[in-house]
Structure 1
Amino acid sequence: MAEVATSRTFSATSDQLLVVVDPVARRADGESVRIAKDVLSAGAAGAKVCLPDGPEEFARALARRGARRPVVVGDDRALVRTVTLLHRRRELAGCALSLVPVGGAVSLARSLGVPTGAVAAARAVLDGAEQRMDLLVDDSDGVVLGTLRIPPVGALTRMREASGGAGRPWLRGLVRTLVPARPPGAVSTPEAWPARLRVEVDGETLVDLRQPVEGVSVVPAASGAARVEVRPVSVGAEATPLSAEGRTVTVSGAHFRYRADAVVSGPVRTRTWVVREAAWGLVLPAR
C-alpha cells in the first residue's frame, strides 16, 4: 500500500538480525541465498540464521525472534506470510521488517521499492531506512500489501476459453451479456465471469448487482486511502471504468475469488477491506 514516512534508520554496527530463509528460496536459488547470508553475517553486529523446513517452523522462528530485527529471504509469498503472521500476533506496529527477494515471484517486492539483487537487498537491510506503509486488512484478518484483484488474473480468459468463444464472436458476446453464461446442460460452478457484484466504498455504492462486471481492482492511493476501479461489462463500445477512493471497500454478491498480492482466496459471497494507515514498516534503501 502507499508509503507513508521514514520513521528510523539502521546501523550495521549495532543491529541484531534474525535471518529467516524461506525453504522455497533455498530450492529456487541457493546461490542467491548464500550471497545474502554472507553479506548479512559480515555486515551486522550479530546475525542469527534460521532455515525452517516449512510454514510452522517459519512461524515459530519469527515468534521467537526476541529483540532481533527480522529479515526474510524469500519471494512475495514469504513476505505476505510474514506480514500476516506479525499482524495476527499484533506485532506489526513495533516491527521493522526487511526482505531479500529470492525466487521467481518478486514483483510485489519490486513495486514496494526493495532491490531485487541479493547484494543490493542485503546492503539495504544493513544501512536502509524504515518506511511505514498502509495495509489493507479484511474481515477474516487477511492482509493486502500491494494490489487486490477480483477475479484473479486469467479467470475471465479461462472462462471464455472453456466456453469455446475464442473463434466465435457471437458466443463471446453471449458470455459477456448473460450472467452467469452457461451452455445448456453445463454443471453449475461456484463462480462465473462476468459476474454481478455490489461494490461499496466508504458506504457508498459504486456499482450494484444490476450491472455485470469484468473485474474489480483496489490499489494504493493517497495516504490512508485506496483507489477502487470497477470495469463494467461492455456491449459494443468500451465501457468506462468506475472509480472511487476511500478507506473501506466491501464487495458482495455471487461467489467470487480474489487475488491479494500473490495469494488467491475464496470463493466468498462478501468481503470487506479496511485501510490501516502506516500499519507496517519495511526497510528500504536510504534516500
Structure 2
Amino acid sequence: MSGLSIEGVSMRFDLPGGGHVQALKDVSLDLADGELLSVLGPSGCGKTTLLNIVAGFLAPTDGRIVLHGNRVSGPSAERGMVFQQGALFEWMSVRDNVEFGPRMKGMPAKERRSGADHLLDITGLGAFKEKAIYELSGGMQQRVALARCLANDPDVILMDEPLGALDALTREKMQGLVLKLWKETGKTIILITHSVEEALLLGERLLVMAPRPGRIHREYRLPFAEAGVNEDLRQVKKMPDFATRREEILSMIWEMEEEIMGRTETA
C-alpha cells in the first residue's frame, strides 16, 4: 500500500454566469512514504488546485485522495502546508510560532519547547528564538514556516511555491535546507514550483503538468535531489544530464505556453 494515493482526481469549477472550467482531469499518482515530488507546469495547469485537494482544502469533483488507507475528507495535521508567504503570527516570537501547533494539541510546555528548540537549531535559527517575526528576513521567515510545519509531525509536507519570493542566493540556500530536512526527517514532500531548475533539484520524482484541463503530461525519476544532499547544489547543476533535462523540460513547457497563447488568440 502506497503512503499517498491520488486516484482519478478531477476538478471542475462552476462559473457565476453559467458554464464551468475543468481545472484537473483524471489525475492519478501513488507516492511511497518518504518520496520527494516536485510538480511543474505552465500557469493554469492546476498545480496549486491539486495541492489544495491533497491538503483537504478543496473536495474534488471526481476521484479521491487516500493517505495510509484513509480517505482525505478535509484538512488535518497529518498533512502540513508551507505557503509562498509563511503565514506566520507576526505578534509572536519565532519560538512561539513553532510551538503553536503542539500547544494547540495540548503537548506539555517542556516537551514542546524542547522540540521547537531542536527544530530551530536544525533550520539554523537557534540564535533567533526570541526574535519577533517582523525582525527576520524573508528567507529566515520561510525557515520558521518549515520548522512550524515540522513541529506538528505531519506525514506529508505540502509546499506551494515556498521559495518563489526569495532572492537568488537565499533561494539556493533554502533549496539545500529542504533537501537536508527531507533526508533527515524522512517526510513525504510535494513541492509546487514554476522554476524548472528548482523542480529538477528538489524532485527525486518530477511531474510536468499539461495545460487546462490539468493532467500529468510527463513523469521523471531523477538523481539530482539525492546528489544535492551531499554535494554543492551548484556542482549538481553542472552535471551534463541536469542541463539536458532542463532544456528538454523548458522546451516542453514553452510549447505548452505557445499552445495556450494560440487558444487565447483564436478564442
The TM tier, using the shorter chain, reads: under 0.3
- More strand per residue: 1 or 2? 1
Q: Which protein has the bigger helix share?
A: 2
Q: Rg bigger for which structure?
A: 1
TM-score, structure 2 length as denominator?
0.28
Q: TM-score, normalised by structure 1?
A: 0.26
